[in-house]
């Protein structure tokens, strides 16, 4: 399987929607001189806004279900999200959440090894699974007339996984090979997507090697796997999202038929993920025997998710880091030629919406050996300080809004509907409110230039920052 943790996942957003439109009230626009009340201009008609249909309910066993019909194409997407990820795996079992993701493709009660994958592919579908900070997900995209078949197959995995020593031993070897190939034997292999959370965070849940220590992977045993499955893969720890060309009443009947009698399980207390406020800049340097050029990554602790400052920092990410028009690309690449690219964003293992807990706003670049790391940091400080001192005018804020709006509608209108399913499942899992998907744009429109400056001063201060530099040891 192609797994998210096999490398960075740049989940940006695919093309604008072509679906039902409803009306939303927007601020009326007036032009010209002031008019009297008798001659007041007629309000401008409300602009059409894209509204995603959301039906949300919970089965008696605790399974949360989100249905979102979209008849644009004759396909259906099924996404099963389990509330267990890197942050909630057991201590001394680093990489266990990822290992378990592999095991979910090894067979179930009615489908043997590789038969789940074969069932999807033989019906013209596509599938994948991934492990993230706060969830593990599995999704399938199939022709619409195969929706019932896929609901049955996904439920068969939730009902009873084929947990055997042979499967465990096999997948331990696969995951260890993946670690060696994708991380240990690649230049910048763990930089900065694994390295930075381990350096910037203090809480073990947020700061351990989530890809997996080889010794910890070897130590996992069959009883660990059985207990993990029984606890975390229970319906009351999961969300099922169904998006695409289907009849909601028919889909509800199938969900009840195949998932309704899967038993729930007691859930352990949620781990404390809180991070202390960072009061001093942290700097680290590490050697890379395979790298030929130096590299630098910076990270700032994010505001709490869904707060006004959170939305402001998402907009600052657009201004500072996203696209060739961003301040850091222009300053570091176009103006000074330090590098050919500056990458980054919020949540390197997904996007700014599909996480739940402490997060970092992060950027990284591989730069010319003639450049000093302090020169890169100086430019970073200059661009942030300029916004902090001069402020952000409305035109800049409006441009950031255009970029966010375009990206958001790209995500929720992709041809495979995965982007929409991802947001619906994430908001159900973390907020118990998948309809949040229709309020995101208005939340960003509430951000003001004053809030942007307040957010810069509190969250983009140097004392809230961690920097990692890579010292290249390979010859070019």
pLDDT digits (tens, 9 = 90+) for 211-267: 888 888 888 899 989 999 999 999 999 999 999 999 999 999 999 999 999 999 999
Element (H, E) at 346: strand 343-346
* Per-residue pLDDT band at 49 (split at 50, 70, 90): low
12-34 average pLDDT score = 30
Q: How much is the pLDDT for 437?
A: 97
Cα torsion angle, 226, 230, 231, 237, sign:
positive
Q: How many CB atoms lie within 10 A of CB 447?
A: 24
What percent of the chain lies above the pLDDT cut of 90? 82
Per-residue pLDDT averaged across 456-469, rounded? Answer: 98
> Which pLDDT does position 171 carry in this prediction?
92
Whether the predicted pLDDT of 12 surpasses 60 = no
The label of the residue with tokens 């700097």 reads 283
Q: Is the pLDDT of residue 102 over 70?
A: yes
pLDDT at 35 over 60: no
| Mean pLDDT of the 292-314 span | 98
Per-residue pLDDT of 104-149, as tens digits, reads 999 999 999 989 999 999 999 999 999 999 999 999 999 999 999 9
For residues 89 and 202, which has the higher predicted lDDT (pLDDT)? 202
Query: Which residues does 16 contact at the CB level (< 8 Å), separation at least 6?
Result: 406, 409, 410, 413
Give the separation between CA 145 and CA 264, rounded to whole angstroms: 29
pLDDT at 73 over 90: yes
Instruction: Give me the residues paired with residue 313 across strands.
Output: none
Question: Is pLDDT at 305 greater than 60 in this prediction?
Answer: yes
Query: CA–CA separation, 313 vs 105, rounded Å?
Result: 38
Is residue 30 pLDDT above 90, yes or no?
Answer: no
pLDDT band at 356 (very low <50, low <70, confident <90, very high): very high
Distance CA 46, CA 24 (A): 6
Tell me: pLDDT of 14 over 70: no
**CA angle centred on 412, ends 411 and 415, rounded to 5°:** 85
Q: What percent of the chain has pLDDT over 70?
A: 90
**Residue closest to 240 by CA, chosen among 353, 111, 153:** 153
Q: What is the mean pLDDT of residues 36-55?
A: 59
Q: Taking residues 424-436, what's their average pLDDT?
A: 98
Measured in whole angstroms, the distance separating CA 298 from the mean position of its chain's CA atoms is: 19
Q: Reply yes or no on whether the pLDDT at 25 is more than 80.
A: no
pLDDT of amino acid 212: 82
Range of lowest pLDDT (17-21, 81-85, 386-390): 17-21
pLDDT of the residue at 188? 97
pLDDT number for residue 10: 29
Q: Look over the chain and give the mean of its residue pLDDT values, rounded to a whole number.
A: 89
């Amino acid at each position: 399987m192609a797994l998210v943790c096999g490398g960075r996942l740049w989940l940006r957003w695919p093309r604008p929607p072509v679906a039902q439109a409803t009306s939303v009230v927007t601020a009326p626009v007036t032009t010209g001189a002031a008019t009297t009340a008798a001659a007041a201009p007629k309000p401008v008609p409300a602009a059409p806004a894209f509204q995603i249909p959301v039906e949300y309910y919970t089965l008696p066993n605790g399974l949360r279900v989100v249905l979102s019909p979209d008849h644009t194409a004759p396909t259906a997407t099924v996404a099963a999200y389990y509330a267990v990820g890197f942050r909630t795996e057991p201590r001394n079992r680093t990489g266990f959440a990822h290992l378990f993701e592999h095991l979910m493709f090894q067979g179930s009660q009615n489908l043997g090894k590789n038969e789940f994958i074969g069932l999807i592919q033989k019906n013209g579908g596509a599938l994948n699974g991934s492990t993230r900070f706060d969830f593990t997900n599995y999704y399938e995209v199939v022709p619409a007339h195969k929706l019932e078949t896929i609901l049955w197959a996904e439920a068969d995995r939730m009902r009873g996984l084929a947990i055997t020593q042979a499967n465990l031993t096999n997948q331990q070897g696969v995951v260890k090979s993946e670690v060696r190939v994708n991380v240990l034997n690649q230049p910048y292999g763990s930089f900065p997507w694994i390295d930075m959370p381990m350096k910037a965070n203090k809480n073990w849940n947020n700061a351990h090697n989530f890809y997996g220590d080889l010794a910890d992977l070897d130590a996992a045993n069959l009883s660990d796997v059985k207990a993990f499955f029984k606890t975390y893969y229970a319906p009351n720890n999961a969300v099922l999202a169904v998006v695409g060309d289907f009849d909601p009443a028919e889909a509800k009947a199938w969900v009840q038929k195949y998932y309704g009698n899967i038993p729930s399980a007691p859930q352990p207390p949620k781990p404390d993920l809180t991070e202390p406020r960072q009061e001093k800049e942290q700097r680290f340097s590490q050697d890379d025997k395979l790298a030929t050029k130096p590299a630098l990554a910076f990270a700032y602790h994010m505001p709490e998710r869904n707060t006004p400052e959170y939305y402001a920092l998402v907009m600052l990410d657009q201004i500072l880091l996203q696209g060739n028009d961003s301040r850091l690309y222009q300053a570091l690449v176009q103006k000074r030629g330090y590098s050919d690219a500056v990458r980054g964003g919020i949540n390197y293992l997904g996007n700014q919406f599909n996480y739940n807990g402490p997060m970092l706003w992060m950027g990284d670049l591989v730069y010319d050996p003639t450049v000093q790391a302090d020169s890169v940091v100086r430019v970073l400080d200059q661009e942030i300080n300029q916004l902090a001192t001069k402020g952000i005018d409305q035109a800049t804020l409006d441009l950031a809004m255009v970029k966010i709006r375009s990206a958001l509608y790209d995500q929720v209108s992709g041809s495979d509907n995965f982007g929409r399913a991802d947001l619906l499942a994430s908001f159900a899992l973390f907020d118990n409110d998948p309809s949040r998907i229709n309020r995101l744009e208005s939340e960003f429109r509430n951000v003001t230039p004053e809030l942007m400056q307040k957010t810069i001063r509190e969250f983009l201060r140097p004392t809230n920052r961690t920097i990692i530099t890579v010292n290249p040891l390979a010859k070019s």
